[in-house]
Amino acid sequence: VYGDIGTSPVSYTHLDVYKRQKGPPDMVPHLITALTGPINDLEARVLESVPAIERWFRLEWMEHTPPFYTSADLRNAGFKLAPVDTNLFPNSFNNLTPEMLPLAVQAAMAAIEKICPEAKNLLLIPDSRVHNSFYLQNLQRLVEIFNQAGLNVRLGSLDPALQTATVLALPDGGELTLEPLVRKRGRLGLKDFDPCTILLNNDLAAGVPKVLQHVHEQYLLPPLHAGWPMRRKSRHFQSYEEVAKKFAKLLGMDAWLINPMQGHCGQVDFESASGLDCVKSNVEAMLTKVRRKYKEYGITEKPFVVVKADNAGGTGILTVRDAKELDDPERMRRGRAGLVHPGEALTEVIIQEGVPTFERIHDAVAEPVVVMIDRYVVGGFYRVHADRGVDQSLCAPGSQYVPLAFAGSSQLPRPGEKPGVSAPNRFYLYGVIARLAMLAAAYELEATDPDAEIYD
């Protein structure tokens, strides 16, 4: 499973999607739960507070540096809307429509001007999936965005076996050229190509290569400590909880409506019963907390939690509705295998409140994904899976990607519209929650920066 890349992208136009939904162009994907009151109330409250919200974000960005680019997977349960994953090396730019490109180019310009205004060269370093056609389209779109932002873009490979330039064929008949990296006197580039900025589209899950270490006088984006050798999902969601509480205080609301509660286990052994004691206790405690909130809001859904690898970018989850399920050794073996890629160690897990998704497109379960560059929402799409349930990960083989018009509607809400029926209002709400996740990532990177100055 390759994250946002997907295995079965669809070529629906926006009109095709709305035809399949049998609704007008302003219609939002259907929520199959009657419990839309809290989300509609949240949407209304957000729309009433647009000036205060945007000012709050401006003030936050005066104090914190946004990640260079981000994507956030959201879940809309009708009674709760929250991010469940935040990607600091997004690989879903191929799912953005051409209509979304102007915003992406403008945001890329703003980001580069802040970092290296004199920049003319950008070195883009992909991951190992350069033979995956969908990932190649993601790279193609990134090259297009930064070309139009005024940069010469070339691709450099971390594969030490690559000794000569290699041409990669694109599905549309175009080509990309992948070249071997050249390291000279603390600077990283290519033959006859010295970039000001190096953009990683590689989450470094396999480790930090020596060639990327101790790079001087160049901007490495995102920074190395954003990669999975150092990053932890639990740390990110601790930061998100902090951000969500601040935002909830601003709006006078319950932070739980936008925050997935979480726990953490730092020493886990899936091969022994004793090694799962921490997981079991955290699962039971989390289920108790969720039941209490469900009772408070009159929610009749059966709560569940998800167990994820804390230190891996994989999308595998273990869904648990009762702590007794963890007593099944075979289930645990299967669960462990699904949480990490083969060969990866699993010693740390995050136990997160499960947020179901009750959105559907053409009778298939869907979840929104919002894509950002710098501090701006530049687009989004729905990840759709016809064979998955509302409590399962949709990032799996068979998933489809349906682009929707986030580009305009995420920044232009329509005050006065009835909650729950306006696409611009719903997508603006999604953009706000995604930006909260991005702000949490900024908090996270500051807290984990190994070079940060510490003041008493």
Question: For residue range 83-132, what is the model confidence (pLDDT) as tens digits?
Answer: 999 999 999 999 988 888 999 999 999 999 999 889 999 999 999 988 89
> 112-129 in b/e burial notation, b at 16+ Cβ within 10 A?
beeebeebebbbbbbbeb
Cα radius of gyration rounded to whole Å, the chain: 22
User: Considering the chain, what is the average pLDDT of its residues?
Assistant: 85
Residue 394 has pLDDT above 90, yes or no: no
Q: What is the DSSP string of 182-218?
A: EEETTEEEBTTB--SEEEEE---TT---GGGTT--SS
pLDDT band of residue 216 (cuts 50, 70, 90) is confident
pLDDT in tens, 410-422: 677 887 887 777 7
More confident of the two residues 186 and 290: 290
pTM (2 d.p.): 0.90
Tokens of 270: 């899936």
Residue 274 has pLDDT above 70, yes or no: no
pLDDT band of residue 333 (cuts 50, 70, 90) is low
> 342-376 in b/e burial notation, b at 16+ Cβ within 10 A?
eeeebebbbbbbbbbbbbbbbebbbbbbbbbbbbb
Ramachandran area for residue 204 (φ above 0: left; ψ -120 to 50: alpha; else beta): left
What does the pLDDT read at residue 388? Answer: 79
What does the pLDDT read at residue 58? Answer: 97
What does the pLDDT read at residue 341? Answer: 64
pLDDT band of residue 335 (cuts 50, 70, 90) is low
CA distances from 417 to 26, 44, 48, 422 (A): 11, 9, 11, 7
- The identity of residue 148, as a single letter, is Q
Q: What is the DSSP string of 139-183?
A: HHHHHHHHHHTT-EEEEEE--TT--S-EEEE-TTS-EEEEEE-EE
Residue 11 has pLDDT above 70, yes or no: no
